[in-house]
Amino acid sequence: MDLVNEFDKNKLARINELAKIAKERDLTEEELAERAVLRQEFLENFRAGFSQQLSGIKVVTPEDQD
């Protein structure tokens, strides 16, 4: 699963654009709300992908080896 494809490159670009704007000036209320929504979507997508990766991992201890 490719995180960027799953999240949408345009949304990621918008998050980065808002971060750049925030360094230059205060964000408007609308921009703050948009950033919060985009960040939440990003985190949900990231957590889902990470959880999927972890579910495919098997820990092998010396006792488990033949």
44 HSE (CA, 13 A, CB side): 7
- The b/e string for 8-30 (b: 16+ C-beta within 10 A; e otherwise) is eeeeeeebeebeeeeeeeeeeee
Domains of the chain: 3-64 (1.10.287.540)
Check if the beta carbon of residue 6 is closer than 8 Å to that of residue 45: yes
Quick one: pLDDT band at residue 7, thresholds 50, 70, 90?
confident
pLDDT of residue 3: 58
pTM: 0.72
